[in-house]
Amino acid sequence: MSWQSAFACWYLQRRIRPETATGSIDVARARAFTSKRVWSPKVPRGWQLEERYGVDDAPLRGEWLSPDTLSEMTILYLHGGGYYFCSSRSHRGLVFAFAQRAGARVFSLEYRLAPEHPFPAALDDALAAYRKLVTDGVSPQSIVIAGDSAGGGLALATLLALRDAGDPLPAGGVMFSPWTDLASTGASMVTNNGRDPMFFGPVFIPVAKLYLGTTDARNPLVSPVFGQFHDLPPLFIQAGDTEVLLDDATRVAEKARLAGVSVECKIWPAMPHVFQMYAPFVPEANRSLDEAAAFVRKVTALKRTEVSLA
């Protein structure tokens, strides 16, 4: 464990985790806090940022980060934030770092948020964005759907929905600390409660209600851990071993492997929730993003080879 990650955990324990102790949710306060704390990194040299936040930009409402040179890879990124706060802007640091390492252009989706827009709004937006990319001529074999926390769960739910609808599937899925169980049935909700530097486990129950509305928490399209994983593309999953959401990641990896899906799952010791957000400051975050980028290049290259041989 690097001193940088130890410092990040220390900060989270003192500034963020106490906010989750009561289990009460203040949507407006969370959004205001995030908007004030947004750190907007410079657009990397050799890359272009295109903001598309107009009403007419849907279903591709959000941000494109594209390299000046042509890339054969596209990442559809779904940000975290419990489905009720955060944005494409709040996740620029992670997205920019991921894109640079992968050499892929990235579209960071500004999906609708709960509680104003409960399930299936976020899923509908993710599906519409993916289908628009394909309609616009982007090959499914060149696309990877990625996300963190709630966005990681949404990425997996999107893959399940695309498969069940008979859509052409992307080359793979990347999930950082995914929230895949809105019913909070994972054992780590208890065993890591108090160890997680960022959250107390019980806070996820009221947060889930914001997105669920009247939907059953065990519906696989809101809690994909309860889904069937056959015929999914390769998955890349990473989380920290002290997270209350640890089992949301490990159970998905286990079920996917049993269903014959190729899975790269790595559990990092003593890392906070979505530690990739702390790149480039935290060395472990840099290494994790390097591994995720290598996965993107690998699965898209494999799909291109399969298509050329067909």
Active site residues: 149, 243, 273
Provide the β-strand partners of residue 236: 174, 264
Closest to 150 (Cα-Cα) out of 204, 231, 107? 204
Residue appearing with tokens 């290598």: 294
What is residue 213's three-state secondary structure? coil
* CB 65, CB 95: distance < 8 Å: yes
* CB neighbour list of residue 183: distance below 8 Å, 6 or more residues apart: 208, 217, 218, 223, 226
Range list of H helices, 68-179: 92-102, 121-135, 150-165
Checking 299-305 for CB contacts under 8 A at 24+ apart, the result is: 299/144, 299/171, 299/172, 299/233, 299/234, 300/72, 300/73, 300/104, 300/141, 300/142, 300/143, 300/144, 300/171, 300/172, 302/171, 303/141, 303/142, 303/171, 304/72, 304/141, 304/142
* CB 166, CB 181: distance < 8 Å: no
In the chain the first and final C-alpha atoms are separated, in Å, by: 46
Neighbours of 3 (CB within 10 A): 9
Beta-sheet strand order (sheet of 62-67): 47-52, 62-67, 105-109, 74-78, 143-148, 172-176, 235-240, 263-268
Closest to 171 (Cα-Cα) out of 80, 290, 262? 262
